[in-house]
């Protein structure tokens, strides 16, 4: 369980008291507010706040005094147009604030997206909980022999068992020593800012993360992608589900033009044109490298 | 009047329909939502949306599951602590979206603050209205002889009248020609993206501007300052009033530590220490330049 | 002539004194340093400084102690790989500083790219020169009837002549009054920060603009694009020529994967697959809107 | 030793070949280029590249065609003026690129400064070295009882010995298992992106970090401050020494106005004024909280 009963009670209290507002309201998002959406073994994603909805994107695009366009249908058409032509500023007019609990090695990838606001739980000030990410056995895979930085085949049961033993044992021992260092009875205890250095990268941390919709889409395109590391991808996928309920039209356009789309190089476009005219194009006659050609074949099926 | 009756009706409609939300609500800000706050002769500031309140700042600082601290008093103490120690990230957790109508030469200063999201009315796509900023006579001042980039004495009535005649006449003529160029009957009309180049910098534009509270405070500190140009300062001052109603504790801390505060150099601190010990310090013995000393005297009264 | 003889002399002096450095040097860029590259009737682009070269991109990608890879060929392969897979951070390791003279209405579009450093000539402090952009007659075109925000057919000679008369006459009169307002003999003169409001948007301004290569490529992709307004596109095209000499491998990859590339939506990819299997796909059976289909046809030729 | 003989040779080679350039050259910085500046037990800071010098700051502030001002003395005066009045954009016109080797828990603090470009050594692709930060015994201190997030008294020799044993033992064991997981003979080995999660936060990583001078000063003000954690402060202090040689005038102004300066609240200014008039002000009559008063006393000595 990622949260305590006390925390559950705090969440329930926050959901118990609707108040009137004149702001844009997304019904789809109201249903998610504050709730725990579990990810991995101890992690989660919670929506803490949001600003705007599909109509707000159109309202900003038109710099209008009232609502965006006259109808939901027009809104969707405008949103698809904006997405297709890389008009990013109207999407920046929506904002979301999330509370995320995640392993430190995932947090280290995540933070590389700089166009967001972050408040992380401070291990200088507070004591971290004894919670570590231990992968499910089917997630334990070998180094990929194809792309040099991903995963290949799943480990054998025996190897997986050995890995899990290491991960569990080392995490437990490191945490035992962390606790001893900061809190040995009758002693002052080592400063927390120092003791934390003994904790492995699969310990959980948490943060508030706030980002606008345009930059969130950029994050999701990279991190919900099949090449992203599984442990961050599952967070991105969970966020995708939340965003689909928040701004359905914008998310639909994102799926069509970004997630499901592909960028072709000028060489690749040239090949498509030749192929459509009936030419048999091969890697050798394409002008592409082997890697490019393999990726191109993936796009044209 | 900065808005038309149709626009007024759109605004009234937006204010007529409160809806329930589970998000943080700022009563002070709800009272302002969508309303026109006039600035200069045709400009305005309107709050379109906001995210968060004082409690949300504390909630983020603590990365908490429920609300921030246990009481409003504790919230205020924490907020003052955060502001004093330059902990900026919790203030980034609040966000505001404004609709602003402003002269182009003001917009050009404003846009230099890069950490905001902007959607400006497009003069490639749309036709700008015939609205120009014409200063009140008492705002017409000479170039300052002290600071080289501000205003000094007010112009004489005669000079002011001549200036106003130029400003009004040139704006009217330029706009007449703008209209003729884009829309002469029986002719195609010049592309709007070209015709706009004939319009002077006091024509009004408008935009949606979205920014987090930390960066807004930075903007306000510079632009509500006595050295800022009057025409942008009046916008900043209007926004100050709105923010004071939105996040009273944060705004109070901002007033005390930023707007009303001052930064002393190491030389200035040294002078204060010597003066408190009874020494008579002069510019010559201070180690400061004349300009620094004059500013220092302004601080210590 | 965009510069005075005094300025030419200053530039010549800067080019006369090479000094030794241990930093990465790009011969291609050294040849351009400080020189005036004219754009439009009075504008220019000048390279003031640069950091890094193709090898520096690879060096950063590898976080290496010495140079990037072992050979120029390997560098190029790595750079193409990075560009293809949207690894943007190594390109951020190169930086360029430009001095640009440009009309104000172009500057207003340009400044929307926020991830750059800018120092603009101050019209609060200084007096602007009497220089206005007056388009060549063949650039005077009607509002487009297709895309709603660009240019369509060229104006007739008669219309063009009338437009040019307006532009020239209004600019001259506005500037005359600007001069009179700030500098009437025997009078104090209106503050410059106020007088500037009378100047039209085709007056020239200038700035120092510094940006990293990744963000510059983003700027160039949007602004050197055929849909960009002509008056900013000519600046982007000039910069493209400079970048091609600075980082030839990176620029080549940019041309292939970005400028000459195209992004297909999931619907478009589906259509390509069906067409390659021999199906006759039409707009009606494509699932695309008319606008999307027209753009798709443009891609597949 | 933080680097291998091969790496030393690569560095020597880079320093052996000066080339002519027309760009601004900082002699002070040329002397540092590429060299290892050791920090902590295995870390370092190396300057890889730089753009601009003191004159370049003035040149940008004036948007000039040639060099900045006419003399070094004028440059210094202008730079001090710019720093005092928070004119930050001219300082953004200088840029520096560093290669830094640092413990992961330091990197996690460092990366929170978002306005920089970063390329980190990839532990998905590569294998990390067996190098851990082990504090010197005199750095092992207890949690502070005053500020809640810093260090207080140094640990006793006995406690320190126990802590060091934990840190060394756990790091060694975790790394042993990391190696076994990724490379057991006759087995495929766990993917590196997974195996790294077993490594503690005192393992060393490295990155290329590029930042402009304004944002670097902001970083240094926070991280070279006495309240910053020792392990990041020593990096900041090393960078301070490098910057002092690079842009002596800008660094001098930074020391006077930022590092050695202090910001007083409006209440604090009021107290100074009263005290200078001879009033005995106490915490009770100051209007400040106890924490504020204590900090105020620190400023006025």
Range 192-221 of C in CB contact (< 8 A) with D:
206-208, 210, 212
pLDDT in tens, C242-301: 999 999 999 999 999 999 999 999 999 999 999 999 999 999 999 999 989 999 999 998
**Antiparallel, parallel or unpaired: β C262-264 and A262-264:** antiparallel
If residue B203 lies in a helix (H) or strand (E), which one and from where to where? none
Share of chain C above pLDDT 70, in %: 96
Hey, what long-range contacts does D265-269 have (CB within 8 A, 24 or more apart)?
A: D265/B84, D265/B256, D265/B257, D265/B260, D265/B261, D265/D292, D266/B255, D266/B256, D266/B257, D266/B259, D266/B260, D266/B261, D267/B256, D267/D292, D268/B261, D268/D292, D268/D296, D268/D299, D269/B260, D269/B261, D269/B262, D269/B299, D269/B300, D269/B301
Same-domain check for residues A145 and A127: no
Q: Are residues B102 and B156 in the same domain?
A: no
B1 band by pLDDT with thresholds 50, 70 and 90? low
Co-location of D17 and D127 in the same domain = yes
| pLDDT (mean) for A139-168 | 89
Catalytic residues of B: 223
Confidence of residue B69 (pLDDT cuts 50, 70, 90): low
Q: DSSP assignment, residue C41?
A: T
The closest of A193, A148, A170, A100 to D197, measured between CA atoms, is A170
Burial class (CB in 10 A: 0-12, 13-18, 19+), D292: buried
Q: How confident is the model at residue B143 (pLDDT cuts 50, 70, 90)?
A: confident
- Average the pLDDT over C65-73 and give the result: 72
Query: What CA–CA distances, in Å, run from A150 to A156, A228, C136, D183?
Result: 18, 8, 56, 16
Using CB atoms, pick whichever of D81, D255, D275 lies closest to residue B276.
D275
Number of CB atoms found within 10 A of residue D261's CB:
20
Boundary-marking domain end, from D201, D220, D241? D201
Q: Is D67 on the interface with C (CB under 8 A)?
A: yes
In this structure, the answer to whether residues B155 and B234 fall within a common structural domain is: no
Looking at residue D185, what is its pLDDT?
A: 61
The reported pLDDT for the residue numbered D184 is: 60
Q: What is the mean pLDDT of residues C25-44?
A: 97
Of chain A, the percentage scoring pLDDT greater than 70 comes to 96
Q: Does D108 participate in catalysis according to the annotation?
A: no
**CA D254 to CA C108: how far, in whole Å?**
32
Instruction: Dig out the tokens for D60 from the structure.
Output: 């940008």
Contact (Cβ atoms closer than 8 angstroms) between residue C190 and residue B202? no
Q: Residues B252-270: what's their mean pLDDT?
A: 96
Count CA within 13 A, CB hemisphere, residue B188: 20
Average pLDDT, chain D: 93
Has residue D1 got a pLDDT over 60? no
Q: Is D136 on the interface with A (CB under 8 A)?
A: no
> Which residue does chain B place closest to C104, by CA atoms?
B197
**Whole-angstrom distance, CA of residue A29 vs CA of residue A21:** 15
- Residue from the list B81, B260, B289 with its beta carbon closest to the beta carbon of D265: B260
Q: What is the pLDDT at residue B298?
A: 94
Distance of CA C153 to the CA centre of its chain: 24
Give the phi and the psi of residue A254 in degrees, each rounded to 5: -60, -45
Element (H, E) at B47: strand B43-51
CA distance C113 to chain B (A): 9
CA distance B290 to D90: 23
pLDDT tens, position by position, D33-73:
999 999 999 999 999 999 999 999 999 999 988 776 667 77
Point out the residue among B111, B170, B197 whose CB comes nearest to the CB of C111.
Answer: B111
Tens of pLDDT, residue by residue over C94-132, are 999 999 999 999 999 999 998 999 999 999 988 999 999
Residue A132 burial (CB count, 10 A): 24
pLDDT at A2: 67
- Give per-residue pLDDT as tens, A116-144: 999 999 999 889 999 999 999 999 999 88
Q: Do D210 and C48 touch (CB under 8 A)?
A: no
pLDDT of residue A301: 87
Given a contact cutoff of 8 angstroms between Cβ atoms, the answer to whether D216 and D91 are in contact is no
pLDDT for B68 beyond 70: no
* pLDDT confidence of residue C68: 63
pLDDT range class, residue C143, cuts 50, 70, 90: confident
Is D151 in the same domain as D187? yes
Query: How deeply is C170 buried, as exposed, middle or buried, from its count of CB atoms within 10 A (0-12, 13-18, 19+)?
Result: buried
Q: How far A83 CA sits from the closest chain B CA (Å)?
A: 15
Q: Which residue of B has its CA nearest to A32?
A: B22
One domain, residues C191 and C207: no
A275 chain-C contacts, CB cut-off 8 A: 276
- pLDDT interval class at C187 (50, 70, 90): low
Closest-approach residue (CA) in chain C for D210: C93
pLDDT at residue A111 tops 70: yes
Domain holding C25: CATH number?
A: 3.30.1360.170
Q: Are B238 and B39 spatial neighbours (Cβ–Cβ below 8 Å)?
A: yes
C146 near A CB under 8 A = no
Residue D256 in this model has a pLDDT that exceeds 90: yes
Q: Do A15 and B22 touch (CB under 8 A)?
A: yes
Residues of D in contact with C89 (CB under 8 A): 117-119
Mean pLDDT of B134-152: 86
Q: In what order do the strands lie in the sheet with C117-120?
A: C37-39, C43-51, C95-103, C204-212, C117-120
Residues C9 and C87 grouped into a single domain: yes
- Answer yes or no: do A28 and A112 share one domain: yes
D41: nearest Cα among D106, D139, D133, D138: D133
- Say yes or no to pLDDT of A209 above 70: yes
Q: Which of B106-115, C77-86, C139-148 has the lowest mean pLDDT?
A: C139-148
Are residues C24 and C80 both part of a single domain?
yes
Q: Hey, is A157 helix, strand or coil?
A: helix
Look up residue A33 and give its two tokens. 């507010």
Predicted confidence (pLDDT) at residue B72 exceeds the cutoff of 90:
no
pLDDT surpassing 90 at residue D19: yes
Choose the closest CB to D197 out of A180, A197, A201.
A201
Closest Cα partner for A68 from A50, A44, A43, A94? Answer: A94
Question: φ, ψ for residue D185 (rounded to 5)?
Answer: -60, 140
Can you give the pLDDT at residue C186? 60
- The ipTM of this complex is 0.94
Residue A198 has pLDDT above 70, yes or no: yes
Give C217→chain D minimum CA distance, Å: 16
pLDDT band at D2 (very low <50, low <70, confident <90, very high): low
Shortest CA distance from D213: residue in chain C: C117
Give the pLDDT score at A144: 83
Residue C132 confidence (pLDDT): 98
Q: How many CB atoms neighbour CB B162 within 10 A?
A: 19
Tell me which chain C residues have a C-beta less than 8 angstroms from the C-beta of D22.
14-15, 17-19, 30, 33-34
Same domain, B61 and B206: yes
> How far is it, in rounded angstroms, from Cα C222 to Cα B122?
17
pLDDT at D216: 98
* Alpha carbon of B248: minimum distance to chain D alpha carbons (Å): 17
Please indicate if any CB of chain D lies within 8 Å of the CB of A291: no
B34 and B19 assigned to the same domain: yes
Q: Which residues, 6+ apart, have CB-to-CB distance to B14 below 8 Å?
A: A22, A66, A67, B33, B34
Cα-based torsion angle of the residue sequence B83, B84, B86, B88 in order, rounded to the nearest 10 degrees: -10
Last residue of a domain, one of B201, B220, B242: B201
Residue B23 to chain A, least CA–CA distance (Å) = 6
The contacts of residue A231 (CB under 8 Å, 6+ apart) are A40, A103, A105, A106, A133, A135
pLDDT 10s digits, A49-88: 999 999 999 999 999 887 766 677 789 999 999 999 999 9
Across the range A43-48, mean pLDDT stands at 97
D301 touches chain B (CB under 8 A): yes
Residues of D within 8 A of B84 (CB-CB) are: 265, 292, 295
Tell me which residue range forms the domain holding D221.
Answer: 5-133+204-259
Share of chain B above pLDDT 70, in %: 96
- B197 to C196: CB separation less than 8 angstroms, yes or no: no
Q: What is the DSSP string of D23-81?
A: S---HHHHTTTT--EEETTTEEEEEEEEE--HHHHHHHHHT-SS-SSSSHHHHHHHHHH
Give the residue carrying structure tokens 């005192």.
D202
Inter-chain CB proximity C191 and B152 less than 8 Å: yes
pLDDT of residue C171: 98
The number of domains in chain C is: 3
Contact status, residue D249 vs residue D91, Cβ threshold 8 Å: no
Confidence of residue C71 (pLDDT cuts 50, 70, 90): confident
Nearest CA in chain A to D152: A191
**How high does pLDDT run on average in chain C?**
93
Structural domain ending residue among the three candidates B201, B218, B241: B201
Q: For testing the chain A interface, which of B48, B50, B69, B214 should be mutated: the one with the most A CBs within 10 Å?
A: B48
Condensed to tens digits (0 to 9), the pLDDT of residues D114-137 reads 899 999 999 998 899 999 999 999
pLDDT at A150 over 90: no
Question: Same domain for A88 and A115?
Answer: yes
Average pLDDT of the residues in B149-157: 88
CA distance C93 to chain B (A): 21
- What's the whole-number mean pLDDT along residues A196-218? 98
Whether residue B15 lies within 8 A of chain D, CB to CB, comes out as: no
Within 8 A by CB and 6+ apart from A139, the residues are: A230, D194
């Amino acid at each position: 369980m990622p949260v305590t009963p006390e925390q559950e009670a705090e969440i329930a209290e926050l959901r118990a008291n609707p108040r009137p507002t004149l702001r844009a309201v997304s019904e789809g998002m109201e249903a998610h507010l504050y709730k725990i959406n579990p990810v991995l073994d101890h992690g989660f994603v919670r929506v803490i706040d949001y600003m705007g909805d599909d109509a707000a994107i159109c309202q900003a695009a038109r710099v209008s005094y009232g609502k965006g366009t006259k109808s939901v249908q027009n809104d969707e058409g405008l949103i698809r147009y904006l997405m297709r032509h890389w008009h990013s500023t109207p999407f920046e007019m929506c904002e979301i604030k999330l509370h995320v609990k995640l392993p430190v090695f995932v947090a280290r990838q995540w933070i590389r997206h700089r166009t967001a606001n972050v408040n992380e739980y401070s291990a200088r000030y507070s004591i971290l909980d004894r919670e570590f990410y231990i992968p499910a056995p089917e997630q334990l895979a070998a180094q990929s022999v194809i792309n040099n930085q991903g995963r290949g085949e799943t480990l054998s049961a025996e190897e997986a068992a050995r890995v899990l033993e290491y991960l569990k044992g080392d995490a437990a021992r490191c945490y035992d020593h962390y606790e001893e260092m900061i809190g040995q009875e009758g002693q002052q205890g080592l400063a927390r800012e120092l003791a934390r250095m003994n904790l492995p990268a699969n310990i959980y941390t948490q943060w508030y993360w706030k980002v606008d919709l345009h930059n969130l889409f950029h994050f999701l395109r990279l991190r919900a992608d099949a090449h992203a590391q599984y442990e961050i991808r599952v967070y991105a996928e969970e966020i995708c589900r939340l965003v689909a309920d928040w701004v359905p039209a914008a998310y639909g356009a994102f799926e069509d033009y970004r997630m499901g789309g592909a960028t072709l190089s000028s060489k690749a476009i040239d090949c498509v044109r030749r192929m459509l005219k009936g030419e048999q194009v091969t890697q050798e006659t394409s002008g592409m490298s082997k890697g490019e050609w393999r990726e191109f074949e993936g796009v044209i099926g």
